[in-house]
């Protein structure tokens, strides 16, 4: 008979786990939170001092091993976080990259990163609608929300359901036939956290490695906004086929987008193109087009930099409403004129992947 795994048993196993030279174990230290038990699968988060972030992997393994040893446990997943209460958050990030870089992660035939220079430009909305548009073409598509700091996928698909497990792996959720995964499904939404560099990459790696992606042809990765170390590190660890940059027309956003382009160039990831989001506004009363932010900046920039311009997406109420209520427009209204814009862009991306026979970029590590 399978013994039943309980919260108490998990806690008592974790009482055997100490971090480095800490006097107390991780439970009595108050580091463990969000323990989830589901049919023999156990997940929890461990908060550590950001200063010790580079040792987080070691602690993660220790804690997972302690749980996996318990009778009745099928899998154990520890998610490492650094909490706001730890004071030294200004410390420079360090990455566990030197030793682990050799083998690139490649959970799909084609992996596309959707990036933006800054937050709020509609990167996640674009990512899910493009993933859905690719899916419509009969392609087997997954989407990974790598925006650890502010996961949007739960909002975009309207679910915070905890994932199931199979063979000790985390099963992606299904949304309109897409395989979807986000850190937002694993941690409690109300726990505010600051993630340190190594832990960001650790959590993203877990979602690429420990998630049972099934026969993916395309994995769309919604990157965290910006062009910092986390994005660079991800580009160096994952076999990206290419990157798509989402920008709004404002100059400032374009300057940021340019930084993104440079980052991908630095690691030899092909730029599949640039998309101008919130490009123009069509007035529902007079039906005329208003270029609120002097549209066309992204197209000019793309021409100047000699990279493909993939299209303009309007600032549109129905895009915002559907995106914010867990019913993305391409899934719920595929015949809509705005859905057709995403579908057209997805076609351009697919052609460029298929024609160029890009499977993964050759990575140069500085
Ligand atoms: P990011 O991922 O860049 O932070 P989001 O995709 O979360 O951006 O979008 C930010 C906000 O803008 C959301 O409320 C979203 O619904 C809205 N939004 C995104 N694209 C459009 C658009 N083309 N028209 C109207 N609203 C949009």
pLDDT tens-digit series, residues 20-51:
878 889 998 888 887 888 888 888 888 887 77
Q: Report CA(115)–ligand 1 centroid distance (Å).
A: 13
Average pLDDT, the chain: 83
Per-residue pLDDT at 88 exceeds 60: no
CB of 123 within 6 A of ligand 1: the answer is yes
Where on the phi/psi map is residue 287: left (φ > 0), alpha (ψ -120 to 50), or beta?
left
Q: Which range, 29-33, 98-102, 124-128, 147-151, has the best average confidence (pLDDT)?
A: 124-128
Q: What is the whole-number distance in angstroms between the Cα of residue 227 and the centre of ligand 1?
A: 19
For the stretch 121-142, pLDDT in tens is: 999 999 999 999 999 999 999 9
Measured by CA distance, the residue closest to atom 24 of ligand 1 is 315
Cβ of 334 below 6 Å from ligand 1: no
* CB of 156 closer than 6 angstroms to any ligand 1 atom: no
pLDDT tens column, 294-324? 667 788 888 888 889 999 999 999 999 999 9
Residue 53 has what pLDDT?
Answer: 76
Give just the sign of the alpha carbon dihedral 57, 62, 64, 65: positive
CA–CA gap between residue 81 and residue 327 (Å, rounded) = 30
Cα(274) to centroid of ligand 1, in Å?
Answer: 16
- Which of 113, 122, 130 for a ligand 1 pocket mutation test, highest count of atoms within 8 Å of Cβ? 122
d(CA 108, CA 104): 12
Residue 89 has phi, psi (to 5 degrees) of: -80, -5
Asked whether residue 220 carries a pLDDT value surpassing 90, the answer given is: yes
Beta carbon of 150 within 6 Å of any ligand 1 atom: no
The atom number, within ligand 1, closest to the CA of 323 reads 16
128 Cβ below 6 A of ligand 1: no
pLDDT of 361 above 80:
no
Closest CA relative to residue 176, chosen from 122, 217, 214, 140: 140
**pTM for the full predicted model:** 0.78
Instruction: Calculate how far, in angstroms, residue 337's C-alpha sits from the geometric centre of ligand 1.
Output: 18
Cα angle value 219/157/43 (rounded, 5°) = 75
264 pLDDT exceeds 90?
Answer: no
pLDDT tens for 325-355 read 999 999 999 999 999 999 999 999 999 998 7
CA distance 200 to 209: 14
The phi, psi pair for 138, rounded to 5°, reads 90, 10
**Quick one: how far is CA 148 from the chain centroid?**
7
* Cβ 278 under 6 angstroms from ligand 1: yes
| Average pLDDT for 259-274 | 86
For atom 8 of ligand 1, the residue with the nearest CA is 122
CA 21 and chain centroid, separation: 33
Structural domains for the chain: 7-82 (3.30.300.130), 101-356 (3.40.50.300)
Residue 115 pairs with which residues in a beta bridge? 245
């Amino acid at each position: 008979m399978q013994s039943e795994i309980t919260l108490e048993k998990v806690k008592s196993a974790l009482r055997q786990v100490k971090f480095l030279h800490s006097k107390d174990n991780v439970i009595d230290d108050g580091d463990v939170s969000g323990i989830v038990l589901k049919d023999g699968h156990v997940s929890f988060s461990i908060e550590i001092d950001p200063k010790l972030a580079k040792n987080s992997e070691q602690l993660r393994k220790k804690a997972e091993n302690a749980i996996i040893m318990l009778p009745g446990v099928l899998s154990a997943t520890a998610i490492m976080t650094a909490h706001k209460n730890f004071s030294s958050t200004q410390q420079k990030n360090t990455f566990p990259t030197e030793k682990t870089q050799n083998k690139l992660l490649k959970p799909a035939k084609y992996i596309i990163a959707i990036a933006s220079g800054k937050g709020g430009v509609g990167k996640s909305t674009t990512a899910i609608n493009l993933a859905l548009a690719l899916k419509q073409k009969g392609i087997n598509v997954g989407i990974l929300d790598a925006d650890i700091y502010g996961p949007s996928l739960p909002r975009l698909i309207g679910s915070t359901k905890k994932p199931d497990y199979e063979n000790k792996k985390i099963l992606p959720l299904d949304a309109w036939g897409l395989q979807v995964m986000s850190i937002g499904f694993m941690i409690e939404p109300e726990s505010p956290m600051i993630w340190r560099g190594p832990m960001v990459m650790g959590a993203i790696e877990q979602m690429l490695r420990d998630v049972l992606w099934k026969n993916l042809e395309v994995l769309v990765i919604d990157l965290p906004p910006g062009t910092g170390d986390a994005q660079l590190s991800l580009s160096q660890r994952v076999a990206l086929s290419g990157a798509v940059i989402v920008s709004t027309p404002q100059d400032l956003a374009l300057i940021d987008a340019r930084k993104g382009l440079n980052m991908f160039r630095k690691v030899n990831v092909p730029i599949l193109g640039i998309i101008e989001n919130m490009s123009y506004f069509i007035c529902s009363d007079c039906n005329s087009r208003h270029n609120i932010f002097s549209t066309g900046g992204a197209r000019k920039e793309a021409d100047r930099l000699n990279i493909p311009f993939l299209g303009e997406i309007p600032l549109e109420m129905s895009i915002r409403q559907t995106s914010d209520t867990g019913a993305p427009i391409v899934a719920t209204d595929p015949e809509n004129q705005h859905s057709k814009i995403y579908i057209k862009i997805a076609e351009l991306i697919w052609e460029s992947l298929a024609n160029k026979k890009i499977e993964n970029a050759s990575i140069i590590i500085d």
